[in-house]
Amino acid sequence: MTNSKATRVTMTETPKRNAEPVHAPAFFAQIMQWFEQLPHCKLLGIKHLSSSAGSVTLELPFSDAIIGNPQTRVLHGGVVTTLIDTASGSAIYTLLSAPEAVATLDLRIDYLRPAKPDAPVYCTAECYRMTEHIAFTRATAFQDDVSKPVAYAVGTFARTPLGKEGA
């Protein structure tokens, strides 16, 4: 039986898929600091809000610079893609204990509705399966109501432990 009641999500309330903490908290904190300092993430203001083992939620604050259509003030789809890709990659690192390269192989996004102007966009991503070489993710981008998503995504990421490049 499913709960038909819509879940309201605010900046401080995010969906929890897994109550376990990230596998290596100090390592993950370094990774998130690195992600937030990537030039495109820093320019967009993407921030880490919450995480647990296998799951992460990021925020993309609204700014006039990310408007894709000046007449409607709808956000550019590319910034939503960046948010989803970053959240999906971050979710993988919640399950890792040591540095490794994680590269997007495939990211399939279904845009369901335009992101409203003057409001942040959130993305909760989950790494639901990991093999020795590939990680599989799914993500939901939304604004004020997770049951009314802006976009859904699934992704596959290549995993390469450091020191094993070209092996």
- Encode pLDDT of 29-42 as tens digits: 999 999 999 999 99
In the prediction, which pLDDT does 4 show? Answer: 36
All domains of the chain in start order, with CATH: 25-161 (3.10.129.10)
Q: How would you classify the pairing of strands 67-69 and 74-75?
A: antiparallel
Burial of 139 (0-12, 13-18, 19+ CB in 10 A): buried
Model pTM? 0.86
- Chain-wide mean pLDDT for the chain? 89
Highest mean pLDDT among 3-7, 12-16, 81-85: 81-85
Q: Is it the case that residue 11 has pLDDT exceeding 80?
A: no
In the prediction, which pLDDT does 10 show? Answer: 38
Q: Are 24 and 97 in contact (CB under 8 A)?
A: yes
In the prediction, which pLDDT does 115 show? Answer: 93
Q: How far is CA 35 from CA 58, 125, 144, 148, in A?
A: 11, 15, 24, 27
Share of the chain above pLDDT 90, in %: 84
Q: Considering only 18-27, 28-37, 88-97, which range has the smallest mean pLDDT?
A: 18-27
Backbone angles phi, psi at 51, to 5 degrees: -160, 155
Q: Are 100 and 160 in contact (CB under 8 A)?
A: yes
